[in-house]
Chain A
Amino acid sequence: MLRYVLGRLLGAIPTLFLIVTISFFLIRIAPGGPFDLERPLEAKVMENLNKIYHLNEPLWNQYLLYLQSVARLDFGPSFYFRDFTINELFAESLPISIQLGLSALCLALIVGGILGVSAALRQNKPADYSIMAAATLGVTIPNFVVAPILTLLLGVWLGWLPVGGWNGGAFVNRVLPVVTLALPQIAVVARLTRGSMIEALRSNHVRTARAYGLTSYMIVVVHALRGAILPVVSYLGPAAAALLTGSVVIETIFGIPGIGRYFVQGALNRDYTLVMGTVVVVACFVILFNLLVDLLYALLDPRVRYD
């Protein structure tokens, strides 16, 4: 088990190396630089800036320098937010994004799971159809449509919730972004759960449970749901990626100082280190999360063993 985890973590190193390399050169071959402002800087200033940020050195050297600092977990100074290092920016923004993402994920799992199970238990009945129609709607309406509508409704007209800002993570400030971020995932989880639950309810071992007169709680929860939850667990990896994408939008709309918003700002302003840092950190998270998901899967399914 421990060996497996170590192996997976070691296996991630080449992946990360690949990511750093690809994104580094991709950014650099693109035209334009971080100091190409609308009003050009004086040559002298430009030269100084280039020297400070090592931009005057050959690209190969810059790459090696960057690799070195990344290996020390130092992502360097920001090009755009001049007074900050990337590490400082992340120390501030990463916890916010993680909180946002995890809350949305939990919400999606709980609500989506309950909806999916109730739809499966009432297969092809009106309740099932309405839940699935709602789920399809949830998947199809982009969250940048949902967000302004919810904001207008709950924030502006009813005045129940603040329309934006993080405010140090106050509960009322979280409600709208978390709900908006979770909505499409609730829909996906509900659809997945329904499908696998229907299959589980038809399986032979659930028939056995019914034939032996077990209570409906035991049939539905103990025997059907535990197996049905496995595909949902496998979906957690892609879900995390989807939440990352979503949080870029959500953070922009609600003005939340998370990592996604920094990334967009960084990309628009050619903040090389900020963009690179975000890509690396996000890739680490995806890898780590996928490992956790696989371990969780093994925990739920005794047939899967990692040793």
Chain B
Amino acid sequence: MHCLIRVCATIEEETTVTLTATSSTGAPAKGRSLWDDARDRLLANRAAVASIIVLVTIALISVFGPILSAHHYDTVYRDYVKVPASLEAYPKAEQVEPGFMSSARRARLTVETFEREGDTVVAKVTSKRDIDPRSVLYFDRSDLFKNTELSDMSADNKSATVKADINFMHFYFGTDANGRDMMTRTFIAGRVSLTIGLLATVVAISIGVLYGATSGYLGGRIDQMMMRVVDILYSLPFIFFVIMLVVFFGRNFILMFIAVGAVEWLDMARIVRGQTLTIKRQEYVQAAEALGVADGGIVRRHIIPNTLGPVVVYMTLLVPKVILLESFLSFLGLGIQEPMTSWGVLISEGARNLQGAPWMLVFPSIFLTSTLFALNFIGDGLRDALDPKDR
């Protein structure tokens, strides 16, 4: 590896030397910054690019999916409890007649003939008592039919023809134990999980960067004290604290990401401190000091741009950690409350219904896992791109 770098350096030396000789003074040549190089390396990384596409798609679906979906995330379809995922529309052909019969029974009507003509059903019904025209509502109230009409009422009001359109609905991901559309719920859960992931990460990063940079930049005794505090905090069983917080102070969305963020800042603080210390020792910072550049200028022009890389990498790797932590709390029943939901909540419900309704686990798991997978690959890709000698 070393030898390789040396070889590259020479090649570079020669090309730049020729550049000096040939390029005439005039329009200044545009340089390639390290960020440009990193971006190119990242874009050359197929796994990372694919992951970015996956992540963006999931994010877009989570944001716009619930708006575009035909179902609202907490609409309950009592006739479609735990129906399997299907590309075909519900009701299925064999469900139409029993569905109609049960609605008729509720309307206290006896069905004499039942015919299906395309997307409508026509039935002759009779009743012992007078047929109330409002009994069509029993059919409309069912999730299977709509636009029910009563016609051909007989003179004695004892028989009539009921005509109803079949109300076709799609449940591409199936429905849950309450008869809610899993697809919309998965999308809305994505919103929640991604938001928690981002917010908690922002909290953790802000605390960590501030703390770490202060500690590293000040150095000396203060640095030692501040890092000692971090060491002590490291030995606290934090997950237990989070559980305590959530249990005793109620399951509050805001509290949740503050708690998670407060737990996860320690690593960031250590990374940023180490980075700041290293950069502070770099000759280019000493050179700036020798030039008489003030502290602010050194931090702004030299330290921050060079700590940014590891922070970005850590951020991409922290988001999945936070999402996992949230879903873990949700699994213990300490997460987001109904009817709102998150991937963790959906997965824990799915896990309980695995035997009867595997689709309840499969779809949220696919979304969660691909998000985490994508974030991990992007994080790895970014690390390789920003620090190519690392691997």
Contacts and interface: CB of A to CB of B under 8 A. Distances in A.
Q: Do chains A and B touch in the complex (CB under 8 A)?
A: yes
Interface of A: 12, 14-15, 18-19, 23, 26-27, 30-32, 136-137, 139-142, 144-145, 147-149, 152, 156, 195, 198, 202, 237, 241, 244-245, 248-249, 252-253, 263-264, 267-268, 270, 275, 278-279, 282-283, 286-287, 290
Contacts of B348: 144
B354 A19 contact: no
A141 to B, nearest CB: 6
B186 interface: no
Contact of A263 (B232, B240, B365): B240
Contacts of B254: none
Contacts of B235: 12, 15, 283, 286-287, 290
B336 interface: no
Given A136-B373, A144-B328, A26 B245 contact: yes
Interface in B105-133: none
A198 B347 contact: no
B351 A147 contact: yes
Interface in B201-235: 232, 234-235
Interface of B: 1, 232, 234-241, 243-245, 247-249, 320, 324, 327-328, 331-333, 344, 347-348, 351-352, 354-355, 361, 365, 368-369, 372-373, 376-377, 391
A202 B373 contact: no
A26 B244 contact: yes
Contacts of B232: 14-15, 18
Contact of A144 (B237, B347, B373): B347
Contacts of A253: 351
Contacts of B373: 136-137, 140
A144 B247 contact: no
Contacts of B320: 140
A140 B354 contact: no
A253 B347 CA distance: 13
Nearest to A198: B391
B354 A148 contact: yes
A32 B250 CA distance: 11
A147 B328 CA distance: 13
Contacts of A270: 248
A145 B237 contact: no
Contacts of A241: 237-239
A202 B328 contact: no
Given A244-B239, A268-B247, A145 B376 contact: no
Given A148-B361, A244-B237, 8 more contacts: A27-B248, A139-B372, A144-B328, A245-B239, A267-B248, A268-B333, A279-B237, A283-B237
In order of increasing CB-CB distance, the 8 nearest A-B pairs are A30-B248, A140-B372, A282-B237, A148-B351, A245-B239, A267-B247, A144-B331, A148-B354
Among B243, B368, B376, the one with the most A-chain Cβ atoms within 10 Å of its Cβ is B243
A237 B267 CA distance: 13
B371 to A, nearest CB: 8
A278 B344 CA distance: 25
B159 to A, nearest CB: 52
A202 B248 contact: no
A142 B249 contact: no
Contacts of A12: 235
B239 A30 contact: no
Among A27, A140, A142, the one with the most B-chain Cβ atoms within 10 Å of its Cβ is A142
Contacts of A31: 248
A14 to B, nearest CB: 8
Contact of A248 (B238, B332, B369, B377): B332
Among A140, A202, A241, A279, the one with the most B-chain Cβ atoms within 10 Å of its Cβ is A140
Contact of A19 (B236, B332, B333): B236
Given A145-B361, A267-B243, A286-B237, A245 B351 contact: no
B248 A32 contact: yes
B347 A156 contact: no
Contacts of A149: 354, 361
Given A136-B373, A142-B324, A279 B240 contact: yes
Contacts of B238: 241
Contact of B327 (A19, A26, A142): A142
B332 A282 contact: no
A252 B332 contact: yes
Nearest to B372: A140
A136 B248 contact: no
Contacts of B347: 142, 144-145
Contacts of A268: 247, 333
Contacts of A267: 243-244, 247-248
A149 to B, nearest CB: 7
Given A140-B376, A144-B328, A282 B369 contact: no
21 contacts: A23-B241, A26-B244, A26-B248, A30-B248, A136-B377, A142-B327, A142-B368, A144-B331, A144-B347, A148-B361, A152-B355, A249-B328, A249-B331, A249-B332, A264-B243, A279-B237, A282-B237, A283-B235, A286-B236, A286-B237, A290-B235
